[in-house]
């Protein structure tokens, strides 16, 4: 039976400090909304809409729809007027954030080795960015051309981490056997929670995030250790 490796992106394959990157992301995006909203009002609406999207557990509402509804209500602006601003930002300015992200050759090497070892691969990143933004970040660590069976984004998911519904949705969409999956990520609470749906877990400690709830990963170590450890966790 096939084995599937689910990789987190930010902080796992892409070596970014979340708070540092988000500050640059939000500052640049707020610039695009000048003349429409004040920086303070925009960032407040963006953060609150993001939190509401994370906590939306309505299976009939996709993440994109949840975010759009929340941002529209919080900003008081029509969605068909603000979404083009977001789109223009992701095309014209978002790629420039790459200067804040260091190179990480280990990412491409680790995932490629897993593929060579017969693993199916899924990019199980927090689905709060539209596909254009996620695909852009994939380029920054040179994994964009790898044979991903799925990349979770704002556009194709109904749930977010750390909810187990997020992992169950991936399982259902790809018809996976959870017992033949390993979730690889750097966030103890958002990634290791995959164990609750029956997956094995590997905690990447290079840029570890741990808010204090120990979910006891099946294994832990550095990103370069992943190919060998995965084969130990789930032999072919």
Decide if pLDDT at 21 tops 90.
no
N-term to C-term CA, the chain: 8
- Same structural domain, 106 and 81: no
| Both tokens assigned to 172 | 């259902």
CATH number of the domain where residue 167 is located:
3.40.50.1000
Helix (H, G, I), strand (E, B) or coil at 135: helix
- Tens of pLDDT along 95-126? 999 999 999 999 999 999 999 999 999 999 99
- Same structural domain, 44 and 108: no
**Selection from 127, 123, 125, 126 nearest residue 143 by Cα:** 123
Q: Which of 56, 83, 98 is the last residue of a domain?
A: 98
- Tens of pLDDT along 26-57? 999 999 999 899 999 999 999 999 999 999 99
**Predicted confidence band of residue 19 (pLDDT cuts 50, 70, 90):** confident
Q: Which of 46, 70, 98 is the last residue of a domain?
A: 98
- Same structural domain, 112 and 213: yes
**Predicted confidence band of residue 233 (pLDDT cuts 50, 70, 90):** very high
Which helix (H) or strand (E) segment holds residue 184: the answer is strand 181-185
Measure the CA–CA gap between 110 and 104, rounded to whole angstroms: 11
Report the Cα 190 to chain-centroid distance in Å. 10
- Same structural domain, 131 and 89: no
- Tens of pLDDT along 147-158? 999 999 999 999
**Selection from 128, 114, 113 nearest residue 10 by Cα:** 128
Q: Residue 202 gets which letter from DSSP?
A: E
What is the tally of structural domains in the chain? Answer: 2
N residues, the chain: 236
C-beta separation of 174 from 4 below 8 A: yes
- Same structural domain, 12 and 121: yes
Measure the CA–CA gap between 30 and 3, rounded to whole angstroms: 42
- Same structural domain, 160 and 210: yes
- Same structural domain, 190 and 174: yes
| Both tokens assigned to 211 | 């808010």
Q: Which of 98, 122, 144 is the last residue of a domain?
A: 98
- Same structural domain, 220 and 181: yes
Residue 168 CB contacts under 8 Å (≥ 6 apart), including other chains? 197
Query: Rounded mean pLDDT of 203-210?
Result: 96
C-beta separation of 115 from 147 below 8 A: yes
Count Cβ neighbours within 10 Å for each residue of 53-68 and write b for 16 or more, e otherwise. bbebeeeebbbbbbbb
**Predicted confidence band of residue 215 (pLDDT cuts 50, 70, 90):** confident
User: Mean pLDDT across the chain, nearest whole number?
Assistant: 96
- Same structural domain, 74 and 188: no
- Same structural domain, 81 and 183: no
| Both tokens assigned to 113 | 């080795």
Domain that holds residue 187: 3-16+102-233
| Both tokens assigned to 205 | 């400690």
- Same structural domain, 145 and 212: yes
Q: What pLDDT is attached to residue 55? A: 97
- Same structural domain, 122 and 180: yes
């Amino acid at each position: 039976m096939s084995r599937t490796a689910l990789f987190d992106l930010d902080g796992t394959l892409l070596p970014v400090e979340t708070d540092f990157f988000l500050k640059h992301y939000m500052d640049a995006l707020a610039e695009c909304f000048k003349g429409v909203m004040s920086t303070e009002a925009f960032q407040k609406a963006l953060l609150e809409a993001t939190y509401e999207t994370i906590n939306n557990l309505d299976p009939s509402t996709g993440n994109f729809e949840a975010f759009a509804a929340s941002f529209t209500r919080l900003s008081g602006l029509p969605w068909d007027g603000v979404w083009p601003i977001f789109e223009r930002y992701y095309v014209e300015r978002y790629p420039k954030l790459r200067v804040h992200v260091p190179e990480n050759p280990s990412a491409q090497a680790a995932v490629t080795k897993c593929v060579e070892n017969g693993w199916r691969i899924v990019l199980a990143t927090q689905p709060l960015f539209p596909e254009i933004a996620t695909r852009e970040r994939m380029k920054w660590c040179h994994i964009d051309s790898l044979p991903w069976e799925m990349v979770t984004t704002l556009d194709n998911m109904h749930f977010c981490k750390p909810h187990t519904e997020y992992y169950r949705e991936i399982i259902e969409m790809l018809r996976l056997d959870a017992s033949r999956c390993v979730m690889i990520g750097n966030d103890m609470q958002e990634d290791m929670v995959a164990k609750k749906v029956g997956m094995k877990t590997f905690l990447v400690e290079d840029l570890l995030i741990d808010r204090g709830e120990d979910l006891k990963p099946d294994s832990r170590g550095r990103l370069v250790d992943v190919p060998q450890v995965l084969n130990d966790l789930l032999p072919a």
